[in-house]
Amino acid sequence: MSSSGNGERVNECASLPRSTSQPFA
């Protein structure tokens, strides 16, 4: 992922169940 949207991506991924395995995915 682009470093620019990295911060926002983390917030959206946190809602997904995959966040447990890959919070940075």
This prediction's pTM: 0.13
Spatial distance between the Cα atoms of 9 and 1, rounded to a whole number of angstroms? 8
- Cβ neighbors of 24 (< 8 A, separation 6 or more) are 1, 6, 9, 10, 13
Report pLDDT digits (tens) over 1-20. 555 555 566 556 556 666 55
pLDDT at 13: 55
pLDDT at 7: 58
